[in-house]
Chain A
């Protein structure tokens, strides 16, 4: 299976592991990620205002590119996924907005929100299947207690994202279990780490992030997994004493395609 892939700016720089292990794991699972040509940064956060058009065009170009190839669009960064999915939803539901966009991009042909958008986790669940992943595991993670950190952007706003139950999600826990490990469920897994507030008020981000780490640890977590580079940064900067890793790295380890950097 071939899909269009939107990596995003951070995955080509500070979050190279998130990207590299996404590619390697997908290959094992029979999915080829075809990187969108000339993709542009999504902007990091969705602008909810109806009259903002220019800030959403990079997402629409990526969506249209995938649509023209008749492929679903897959993202792995929580933030890119959130921006692109909310933008696609606006194209589907807000005809005045869609009309403005299509006038702006008239030279490229029209787009109405036809492309299907999947987060990599949804690709694993809906296009590959956790049962298939389970069969491909060569290094079982049995005995490890792993906590999934969802944060905000994968789940909210739920009316648009539709990934999972926003207050009681299971998609990342199901992945953890399919890799043989124990999934630690804790209350703060869908509360905000502080996001971009860490630029101006690092202490505010720290307060949120410490509460998340402590809550995971009290419930027995030995490791936290995330899909978001900014969540990883905030959770690590608050002084976490358990590892915070990208879910793709964990997947690659279980599938036997993680490079042994200690060798």
Chain B
């Protein structure tokens, strides 16, 4: 495991989440509606960021599975705010030049007659910079 202290501090700073308060109870992951889709679960994001083990998270599809439902924020008994940690790691990944997760060219194939604008703007807000 590589301890990347700079990235760790940066992610803690932009997320505003206090990962050191986590007591490893796993409640965030237990309540996460995207749990089955994720390789790394919300409690693992929290723990791995705390340890500076960030590269595996940056390269994981799990970044794009979080639904921003904020259930982990409301239900964490320690006020850690795991969703903010996931978001800060995702931003660190997609802020790199050329690292957008989707492009406009991907859209025609996945929309149908009922697709609400909200779906597209939300996906672009979360997956691109």
State whether A50 and B14 are in contact (beta carbons under 8 Å apart), knowing that A13-B117, A44-B118, A192-B33 are contacts in the complex: yes
The smallest C-beta distance from B87 to any residue of chain A, in angstroms, reads 5
Contacts of A52 in B (CB 8 A): 91
Taken residue by residue from 76 to 108, chain B's Cβ proximity to chain A (1 for < 8 Å, 0 otherwise) reads as: 000001011001100100000000001000000
Tell which of B34, B110, B114, B121 has the most Cβ of chain A within 10 Å. Answer: B121
Contacts of B116 in A (CB 8 A): 10, 13-15, 229-230, 232-233
A138 in contact (CB, < 8 A): no
The answer for the CA separation of A181 and B121 in the assembled complex, in Å, is 35
Contacts of B73 in A (CB 8 A): 156-157
State whether A195 and B67 are in contact (beta carbons under 8 Å apart), knowing that A49-B91, A55-B125, A233-B114 are contacts in the complex: yes
The smallest C-beta distance from A50 to any residue of chain B, in angstroms, reads 5
A196 in contact (CB, < 8 A): yes
Contacts of B1 in A (CB 8 A): none
Instruction: Give the interface SS of chain A, mostly helix, strand, loop or mixed.
Output: loop
Contacts of A229 in B (CB 8 A): 116-118
A182 in contact (CB, < 8 A): no
Tell which of A15, A43, A196 has the most Cβ of chain B within 10 Å. Answer: A196
Nearest A residue to B11, CB-CB = A49
Contacts of A51 in B (CB 8 A): 13-14
A198 in contact (CB, < 8 A): yes
Taken residue by residue from 177 to 212, chain A's Cβ proximity to chain B (1 for < 8 Å, 0 otherwise) reads as: 000000000000001101111111100100110000
Nearest A residue to B64, CB-CB = A200
B16 in contact (CB, < 8 A): yes
Q: Which size bracket describes the interface of B in this complex? A: 35 or more
- Residues 153 to 167 of chain A near chain B (Cβ within 8 Å): 155-158, 166
A195, B117: Cβ atoms under 8 Å?
no
A45, B33: Cβ atoms under 8 Å?
no
A201, B37: Cβ atoms under 8 Å?
yes
B71 in contact (CB, < 8 A): yes
B88, A192: Cβ atoms under 8 Å?
no
B114, A196: Cβ atoms under 8 Å?
no
A196, B123: Cβ atoms under 8 Å?
yes
Could you say which of A15, A192, A196, A230 contacts B126, with CB atoms under 8 Å apart? A196
B33, A198: Cβ atoms under 8 Å?
no
Nearest A residue to B70, CB-CB = A156
State whether A9 and B114 are in contact (beta carbons under 8 Å apart), knowing that A48-B84, A152-B69, A166-B74 are contacts in the complex: no
16 A-B residue pairs with Cβ-Cβ distance under 8 Å, sorted by A, are A14-B114, A45-B68, A47-B87, A48-B15, A50-B15, A79-B118, A157-B74, A192-B33, A195-B69, A196-B67, A199-B119, A201-B65, A204-B36, A204-B37, A208-B33, A233-B119
What residues of chain B have their CB less than 8 Å away from a CB belonging to chain A? 13-16, 33-34, 36-37, 64-65, 67-71, 73-74, 81, 83-84, 87-88, 91, 102, 110, 114-123, 125-126
What residues of chain A have their CB less than 8 Å away from a CB belonging to chain B? 8-10, 13-15, 41, 43-52, 55, 77, 79, 152, 155-158, 166, 191-192, 194-201, 204, 207-208, 228-230, 232-233, 236-237
14 more A-B residue pairs beyond the given contacts A9-B118, A48-B81, A52-B91, with a C-beta to C-beta distance below 8 A = A9-B121, A10-B116, A14-B116, A43-B122, A43-B125, A47-B87, A48-B83, A152-B71, A194-B33, A194-B67, A196-B67, A197-B37, A200-B123, A230-B116
